[in-house]
Every structure is written in structure tokens, then in C-alpha cells.
């Protein structure tokens, strides 16, 4: 079945075969919230190394990779159905790319697709401020604020693919890219 794609469709076709691949399983130990922080810190440590020629570039790359990875993995942990979370991350042509794949339920899938639909026709910076005002008067979580900060404050390019899995569950694959600082040791 062809997936439903939102965002920048060309990102979904980029191969990350030669990248770092991590699988977070939820086995008997239960995947903790803490793991999303540890995993994103690890990815930032490994990926930012090539920018260590310049202190400024290194700090910038380490932070941007860490923030982007953390938001995507936090979302996967927060909204996933039992099962593995697959994470692929790499640097291609001066861009950091991360792809996170996990399973969500049908209700989460429709709510998320509505949000992405709204995103398509609006400026993310405006939507971010609107969402912050809405959050201030309600305690609702899952507002998409993380994605809006990525699009608005980090200029991230993103794509989301939803694929039905025949059992009321949906496989969600999120791909995100941010430009890296210019200097590199490679």
C-alpha cells in the first residue's frame, strides 16, 4: 500500500543505509523516557565530532543535532504502540538527516494528520505563537509544539509517511534534515 506523505516528499526517498542505525526495543525493561535523552545525546556526540575543528561550529552542530533528535525520539516514545523504534541518522552533503520509524494507533494517526494538514498552508512561526497561546489556556499535551519549533526556529525540512498496517495500527516514518555548519574535518 502506498503511504500517505506530508511535508517534503523527496526526503522520504533518501537512503540512510550507510548511516548509524539504532533500535530501541520496549521488551521487559520498558523503554523509559530517559532513553530518548540518552539516545539523542549519543547521536549528537557521534555526529558532531566531524565539526570539532571549530569550537563554534561544534557547539552549534552538537546542539542542533541533539535538539532535533530529542524531539523526534520523545514523540516516538510518547505516542508509540508497543514495539520497536528504529532510528537512522547520518550526515549527507552538509546536512544532518534523521529518520525515526515507529507504530502508532489509528486515533493518534488521524489527529496527527489533521495537524500536518493545517501546517501545510501556514507559516510555522505564526502557528508556533498561536499554539503557545492555545497551550497557555489549556493543559492539553501533544500539541505539536516540538515540530513547530523545529520548523520555525531550526529551519528543519521534514516529511511524515503514514502506512496502514492492517491491524488498526499505522507505521509512522518521520524524516528530518537540518543544514550543518560549514567547517568539517572530513
Partner 1 sequence: MEISDENFRVWAEKNEVYFDGVFRLAGPDAYAPIYSLISGLLHEGHKQVTFNLTGLEFLNSSGINLLAKLTIEARKMDDLLLVVKGTSQYPWQAKSLPNLKKLHPLIDLRLA
Q: Which residues bind partner 1 (CB under 8 A)?
A: 33, 36-37, 59-60, 63-64, 66-67, 70-71, 74, 78, 128-129, 132-133, 135-136, 139-141, 143, 145-146, 149, 153-154
Of 66, 6, 3, the residue nearest 36 (C-alpha): 66
Q: How many CB atoms lie within 10 A of CB 171?
A: 17
Least distance from C-beta 186 to partner 1, angstroms?
Answer: 22
- Nearer CB in complex with partner 1: 5/116: 116
Of 114, 115, 145, 116, the residue nearest 129 (C-alpha): 145
Least distance from C-beta 3 to partner 1, angstroms?
Answer: 26
Of 49, 59, 50, 16, the residue nearest 177 (C-alpha): 16
Least distance from C-beta 143 to partner 1, angstroms?
Answer: 8
- N-term to C-term CA, the chain: 40
Q: What angle do CA 103, 107, 110 make, to 5 degrees?
A: 90
CA–CA distance, 62 with 59 (Å, rounded to integer): 5
Least distance from C-beta 78 to partner 1, angstroms?
Answer: 7
- Nearer CB in complex with partner 1: 5/158: 158
Amino acid at each position: 500500500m502506498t503511504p500517505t506523505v506530508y511535508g517534503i516528499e523527496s526526503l522520504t526517498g533518501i537512503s540512510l543505509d550507510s548511516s548509524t542505525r539504532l533500535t530501541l526495543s520496549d521488551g521487559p525493561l520498558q523503554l523509559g523516557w530517559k532513553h530518548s535523552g540518552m539516545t539523542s545525546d549519543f547521536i549528537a556526540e557521534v555526529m558532531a565530532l566531524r565539526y570539532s575543528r571549530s569550537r563554534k561550529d561544534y557547539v552549534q552542530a552538537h546542539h542542533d543535532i541533539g535538539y532535533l533528535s530529542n524531539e523526534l525520539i520523545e514523540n516516538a516514545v510518547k505516542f508509540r504502540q508497543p514495539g520497536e523504534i528504529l532510528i537512522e541518522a547520518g550526515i549527507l552533503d552538509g546536512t544532518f538527516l534523521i529518520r525515526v520509524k515507529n507504530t502508532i494507533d489509528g486515533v493518534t494517526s488521524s489527529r496527527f494528520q489533521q495537524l500536518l494538514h493545517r501546517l501545510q498552508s501556514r507559516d510555522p512561526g505564526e502557528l508556533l505563537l498561536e499554539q503557545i497561546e492555545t497551550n497557555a489556556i489549556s493543559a492539553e499535551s501533544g500539541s505539536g509544539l516540538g515540530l513547530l519549533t523545529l520548523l520555525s526556529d531550526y529551519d528543519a525540512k521534514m516529511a511524515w509517511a503514514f502506512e496502514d498496517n492492517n491491524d488498526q495500527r499505522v507505521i509512522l516514518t518521520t524524516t528530518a534534515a537540518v543544514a550543518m555548519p560549514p567547517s568539517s574535518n572530513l
